[in-house]
Amino acid sequence: MSTSFKLHLFFLSTENHASSVMSAEVALQKFSFPFACSLKLSSQDNVTQKGSSLAKDPELSKLKENPRLVEQNHVKVVQAPVEYKDQVPESTKSPDAGDTVAIQLSVSAEASRNAAVARQSIAENLRVDGEDQRPAAKRQLSSESAAKSITAVKKSALRKDPNEQRHLQQKSQLGQRGQLKAALPGQRKRRKDLFKSSEVFHRLDSSVIKAGAELKQKCVYDVKTIVQSITQGTRNELEQLRAIWVWLCNNIEYDVSGYLGRSEKLSSPEEVIAAGRGVCCSYSNLCTEMCSFDDFYFLTDPEEFIDSHFPDEEKWQLLDKPIPIEEFEQRVFKTSAFFKMGLRLISPLHYYIVTDDGEATVSLGFSRPTTFTYEITQHQDLLHCGSVEQKESSNSSFGLLTVSSRSMKLQLLPPESDTYDVKLFARSENATTPLVWVCSFTVKCPNPRATEDIPENPFLSWGLQPAAGSLGVIGSSQSSEVVEVEDGVFDLVLKTCRPLMVLCELVHPQMEAAVAKCCLATQIQPESLTCHVLCPFHGFYRLSLFVRDYENTEVKFQNAANYLLHCKGKVVGLEDLFPPNLGSACGPGTRTAKAGLSRFSHNSAMVSTQQGKCNITFHNQQDLELHYVLSKKNICSTFPVSRYVFCTYTDHKVTLSLSLPEAGVYRLGLYARITSSEDFSPMCDFIVRNLSNQVMPPFPCVYSAWGKGCVLFEPRMGTLEPLSWTLFRVRVPGALRVSVVGEDRTDLKLNKSRVWEGKVFSGEGLQQLKLAASLEDSSEMSVLMIFDVKQLQKEDIIRT
Cβ atoms of residues 76 and 103 within 8 Å: yes
Task: Judge whether residue 486 has pLDDT over 70.
Answer: yes
The DSSP line for 110-145 is HHHHHHHHHHHHHHHHTS--TT--S-HHHH---HHH
Instruction: For residue 485, give the 3-state DSSP assignment.
Output: strand
Mean pLDDT computed over 157-184: 40
Q: How far apart are the first and last CA of the chain?
A: 103
Helix (H) or strand (E) holding 225: helix 223-230
Task: Judge whether residue 799 has pLDDT over 50.
Answer: yes
Task: Judge whether residue 233 has pLDDT over 70.
Answer: yes
Range of lowest pLDDT (214-218, 244-248, 324-328, 384-388): 384-388
Domain shared by 210 and 278, yes or no: yes
Q: Tell me the percentage of the chain whose pLDDT exceeds 90.
A: 39
Q: How far apart are CA 542 and CA 452, in angstroms?
A: 13
- Residue range 128-140, pLDDT digits in tens: 333 333 333 333 3
Q: What is the pLDDT of residue 64?
A: 37
Mean pLDDT computed over 580-595: 93
Of 54, 34, 154, the closest CA to residue 107 belongs to 54
Domain shared by 509 and 439, yes or no: no
Q: What is the pLDDT of residue 265?
A: 53
Task: Judge whether residue 536 has pLDDT over 60.
Answer: yes
Domain shared by 523 and 592, yes or no: no
| Most confident range, picked from 78-92, 222-236, 446-460, 675-689 | 675-689
Q: How far apart are CA 288 and CA 256, in angstroms?
A: 10
pLDDT band at 421 (very low <50, low <70, confident <90, very high): very high
Q: What residues contact 682, with CB distance under 8 A and at least 6 apart? A: 583, 585, 591, 669, 670, 671
Mean pLDDT computed over 305-314: 84
State phi, psi for 356 to the nearest 5 degrees. Answer: -115, 115
Mean pLDDT computed over 378-389: 60
Q: Tell me if 425 is assigned to some domain.
A: yes
Q: What is the pLDDT of residue 271?
A: 59
Domain shared by 710 and 691, yes or no: no
In this structure, which amino acid lies at residue 38? Answer: S
| Most confident range, picked from 74-78, 259-263, 577-581, 727-731 | 727-731
Cβ atoms of residues 464 and 560 within 8 Å: yes
Q: What is the pLDDT of residue 293?
A: 75
Range of lowest pLDDT (135-139, 239-243, 751-755): 135-139
Q: What is the pLDDT of residue 438?
A: 93
Q: How far apart are CA 301 and CA 324, in angstroms?
A: 18
Q: How far apart are CA 508 and CA 516, in angstroms?
A: 8
The DSSP line for 586-605 is BSSSHHHHHTTEE--S--SS
Q: What is the pLDDT of residue 275?
A: 59
State phi, psi for 319 to the nearest 5 degrees. Answer: -105, 150
The whole domain housing 542 covers: 483-567
Of 601, 593, 713, 720, the closest CA to residue 668 belongs to 601
Cβ atoms of residues 80 and 48 within 8 Å: no
Domain shared by 542 and 438, yes or no: no
Parallel/antiparallel/unpaired status of strands 352-354 and 435-445: parallel
Q: What is the dihedral of CA 541, 547, 553, 555, to 10 degrees?
A: -100
- Domain tally for the chain? 5
Q: Tell me if 261 is assigned to some domain.
A: yes
For residue 297, the 8-state DSSP code is G
More confident: 282 or 692:
692
Cβ atoms of residues 438 and 341 within 8 Å: yes
Task: Judge whether residue 797 has pLDDT over 70.
Answer: no
Q: Of 240, 266, 293, which residue sits at a domain end?
A: 293
- Residue range 3-60, pLDDT digits in tens: 333 333 333 333 333 332 333 333 333 333 333 333 333 333 333 333 333 333 343 3
Mean pLDDT computed over 348-353: 91
Domain shared by 704 and 690, yes or no: no
More confident: 715 or 82:
715
Range of lowest pLDDT (175-184, 418-427, 788-797): 175-184
Cβ atoms of residues 604 and 523 within 8 Å: yes
Q: Can you give 633-686 as a three-state secondary structure string?
A: CCCCCCCCHHHHEEEEEECCEEEEEEECCCCEEEEEEEEEECCCCCCCEEEEEE
Q: What is the dihedral of CA 110, 113, 119, 123, to 10 degrees?
A: -140
The strand pairing partners of 327, in sequence order, are none
| Most confident range, picked from 194-198, 301-305, 601-605 | 601-605
Domain shared by 731 and 771, yes or no: yes
Of 248, 214, 319, 269, the closest CA to residue 75 belongs to 269
| Most confident range, picked from 105-119, 436-450, 594-608 | 594-608
Of 494, 669, 696, the closest CA to residue 613 belongs to 696
* Strand order, beta sheet including 399-403: 344-347, 360-365, 407-412, 399-403
Q: How far apart are CA 715 and CA 646, in angstroms?
A: 13
Domain shared by 593 and 682, yes or no: yes
| CATH value at residue 427 | 2.60.40.10
For residue 701, the 8-state DSSP code is E
Q: Tell me if 706 is assigned to some domain.
A: yes
| HSE-CB for 776 with a 13 A CA cutoff | 3
Domain shared by 587 and 691, yes or no: yes
Q: Tell me if 354 is assigned to some domain.
A: yes
Of 698, 700, 697, 716, the closest CA to residue 768 belongs to 700
Instruction: For residue 323, give the 3-state DSSP assignment.
Output: coil
Q: Tell me the percentage of the chain whose pLDDT exceeds 70.
A: 68
CA angle 432, 435, 439 (to 5 degrees): 155
Q: What is the pLDDT of residue 269?
A: 55
Q: Of 652, 675, 698, which residue sits at a domain end?
A: 698
- Residue range 83-93, pLDDT digits in tens: 333 333 333 33
Q: Tell me if 386 is assigned to some domain.
A: no
Domain shared by 658 and 554, yes or no: no
Q: What is the pLDDT of residue 340?
A: 87
Q: Of 698, 716, 745, which residue sits at a domain end?
A: 698
Q: How far apart are CA 241 and CA 445, in angstroms?
A: 47
For residue 366, the 8-state DSSP code is -
Q: Tell me if 758 is assigned to some domain.
A: yes
Mean pLDDT computed over 175-201: 60
Cβ atoms of residues 792 and 724 within 8 Å: no
Mean pLDDT computed over 203-228: 86
Mean pLDDT computed over 181-193: 58
Mean pLDDT computed over 484-507: 95
For residue 359, the 8-state DSSP code is B
More confident: 474 or 297:
474
| CATH value at residue 547 | 2.60.40.1220
Residue 604: CB atoms within 10 Å: 16
More confident: 127 or 494:
494
pLDDT band at 264 (very low <50, low <70, confident <90, very high): low
Chain mean pLDDT for the chain: 75
Instruction: For residue 206, give the 3-state DSSP assignment.
Output: helix
Residue 72: CB atoms within 10 Å: 8
State phi, psi for 642 to the nearest 5 degrees. Answer: -65, -20
Q: Tell me if 149 is assigned to some domain.
A: no
Cβ atoms of residues 62 and 91 within 8 Å: no
Mean pLDDT computed over 664-691: 93
| HSE-CB for 753 with a 13 A CA cutoff | 8
Domain shared by 652 and 762, yes or no: no
Q: How far apart are CA 713 and CA 727, in angstroms?
A: 10
Instruction: For residue 409, give the 3-state DSSP assignment.
Output: strand
Residue-wise burial string across 306-333, b where 16 or more C-beta atoms lie within 10 A, e elsewhere: bbbbbbbeebbbbeeebeeeeebbbbbb
Range of lowest pLDDT (62-71, 518-527, 605-614, 628-637): 62-71
pLDDT band at 240 (very low <50, low <70, confident <90, very high): confident
Helices (H), 260-301: 269-275, 288-291
pLDDT band at 541 (very low <50, low <70, confident <90, very high): very high
More confident: 738 or 182:
738
Mean pLDDT computed over 228-234: 87
In this structure, which amino acid lies at residue 212? Answer: G
Range of lowest pLDDT (54-63, 584-593, 677-686): 54-63
Range of lowest pLDDT (534-548, 582-596, 627-641, 786-800): 786-800
Task: Judge whether residue 169 has pLDDT over 60.
Answer: no
Mean pLDDT computed over 181-196: 62
Q: How far apart are CA 435 and CA 417, in angstroms?
A: 29
Q: How far apart are CA 441 and CA 383, in angstroms?
A: 9
Q: How far apart are CA 56 and CA 118, in angstroms?
A: 14
Q: How far apart are CA 11 and CA 533, in angstroms?
A: 66
- Residue range 730-750, pLDDT digits in tens: 999 989 999 999 988 999 999
Q: How far apart are CA 616 and CA 669, in angstroms?
A: 12
pLDDT band at 127 (very low <50, low <70, confident <90, very high): very low
For residue 310, the 8-state DSSP code is -
Q: Tell me if 341 is assigned to some domain.
A: yes
- Residue range 213-223, pLDDT digits in tens: 888 888 887 88
Q: What is the dihedral of CA 590, 591, 597, 603, to 10 degrees?
A: -50
How far is C-alpha 627 from the chain's CA centre? 45
| HSE-CB for 716 with a 13 A CA cutoff | 12
Domain shared by 509 and 550, yes or no: yes
Q: How far apart are CA 701 and CA 713, in angstroms?
A: 15
The strand pairing partners of 339, in sequence order, are none
Q: What residues contact 587, with CB distance under 8 A and at least 6 apart? A: 523, 530, 602, 603, 604, 605, 606, 684, 685, 686
Q: What is the pLDDT of residue 197?
A: 77
Q: What is the pLDDT of residue 632?
A: 92
